[in-house]
Amino acid sequence: MGKKKTPAINSSSTADIAFLLLCYFLMTTTMGSQTGLSRRLPPMPTEDQKLENQKVNKRNILIVKINSHDRLFAGGEPMEITFLKDKVKEFLTNPTNDPNLPEREMKEIEGFGQYPVSKGVISLQNDRGTSYQAYIAVQNELVKAINELRDDFSYNNFGKKFMALDEDQQNIVKDAIPQQISEAEPMEVKRR
Amino acid sequence: MSKFNKGGKKEMPGITSSSLSDIVFMLLFFFMVTTQMRETENKVMVKIPEASESVKLERKDLNSYINIGTPILSLQGQYGTEPRIQLNDSFKTTTDIRDFIAAERDSKSEADRQFMTVSIRADQDVRMGIVSDVKQELRRCSALKIMYSTRKPAE
């Protein structure tokens, strides 16, 4: 008796099996890239730091408050959220050298030269009852204002948008227009 | 002249489908590699707020998540509908954040520790009180790099 040939395994169904697996992974996969707004919290203040905080000149602070009914106050007056961006832009650029708006200090920026950097700080205060959505909406407007200022600066000096610049140039722009948003302590909110 | 159409109708040769499975396997491997299963089960309902200026996170592996929201329906009988904090797989309070951050720090390599980001995934209807508490606790643990999880609005 000679060797019997083993019959070939029918492989036409492997494609079906693979398709099935493929569909499973297609369904469960989340290409999800995490997106969000990055922030740096201030370190927990020590005693001597508190004194330093009070020294900040009044004209250099823009207080943005959101109360428990999600009403927005910027610089002491009620405001619609759509106007906040322009207010912040005006505050940070101070185009008319208004004595009530923040001063600008000549600073040496490495690789760029002298540039009057605004000393303005935006202080964001909220109530415990503020909804997270309103808070994020305000944060978003603040970031948008700063992003637009950075875009303007990049366009005037490098002829490109901020995102299209290389890393060194981006750092220059970041130095020229810092993102100065301070998130207030909840203690201050309670006092209000 | 009938050199070329000798045998009348010729049968079309069948397309070999043996390479089909190879192609599908290739696709399969691609998705297997890129997919990542969710490590933790969500116990709170989180609907992330929209923000048009959201930026992408660079290093996903350096991220720790703090979920804040109301418990999911099946757990509401047990835990109520008040917003809760979820760390890893269970409900925690703000006092547990310190241990959580310490554990997360230990799990990262020494060089990467300073880049560790805490992602706050809070529901859009949550009140700021609980978020403020979390932020204060994070400051106390000096985990200062945070990120508010947001999503880009659909255009």
Instruction: Kindly list the domain boundaries of chain B, sorted by start residue.
Output: 63-148
Residue A146 inside a domain? The answer is yes
For residue A33, is it within any domain? Answer: no
User: Closest Cα partner for B130 from B69, B49, B47?
Assistant: B69
Measure the CA–CA gap between A172 and A160, rounded to whole angstroms.
14
Q: Give a yes or no: residue A41 inside a domain.
A: no
Give B78 or A44, the one with higher predicted confidence.
B78
> What's the mean per-residue pLDDT of chain B?
80
DSSP 8-state class, residue A96: T
The whole-number pLDDT of residue A190 equals: 44
- pTM greater than the 0.90 cutoff: no
Are A19 and B136 within 8 A, CB to CB?
Answer: no
B45 touches chain A (CB under 8 A): no
- Give CA torsion, residues A79, A181, A134, B121, to 10 deg: 170
A144 min Cα distance to partner chain B (Å): 6
Structural domains of chain A, count = 1
Length of chain A: 192
**Closest CB from A30, A136, A186 relative to B51:** A136
First to last CA, chain A: 101
Residue B46 Rama label (left phi>0; alpha psi -120 to 50; beta): beta
Question: What's the confidence (pLDDT) of residue A32?
Answer: 60
Q: Is residue A169 part of a domain?
A: yes
Handedness of CA A146, A147, A153, A156 (dihedral sign): negative
Q: Is residue A144 domain-resident?
A: yes
User: Given an 8 Å threshold on Cβ–Cβ distance, is B128 in contact with A130?
Assistant: yes
| Domain assignment of residue A110, given as a range | 61-183
**For A103-143, where are the E strands, in sequence order?**
104-109, 113-118, 121-126
CB atoms within 10 A of CB A62: 24
CA distance A36 to B122: 11
Nearest CB neighbour to A25, from listed B35, B52, B139: B35
Which residues on A lie below 8 Å from B19 (Cβ)?
none
Q: Which helix (H) or strand (E) holds A153?
A: helix A132-158
Tell me how close the Cα of A120 comes to any Cα of chain B, in angstroms: 21
Given 3.90.1150.10, 3.30.420.270, 1.10.3720.10, 3.90.78.10, which CATH number is that of B63-148?
Answer: 3.30.420.270
Residue recorded with tokens 């560790």 = B116
Residues B38-43 have a mean pLDDT of: 69
- Contact between A137 and B49 under an 8 Å Cβ cutoff? The reply is yes
Chain A, chain B: beta-carbon pairs less than 8 Å apart? 146
Chain B nearest C-alpha distance from A34 (Å): 6
Mean pLDDT of B105-130: 84
Complex ipTM > 0.85? no
Asked if residues B48 and B150 have their Cβ atoms less than 8 Å apart, the reply is yes
Q: Per the CB < 8 Å rule, is A30 touching B35?
A: yes
Supply the pLDDT for residue A28: 75
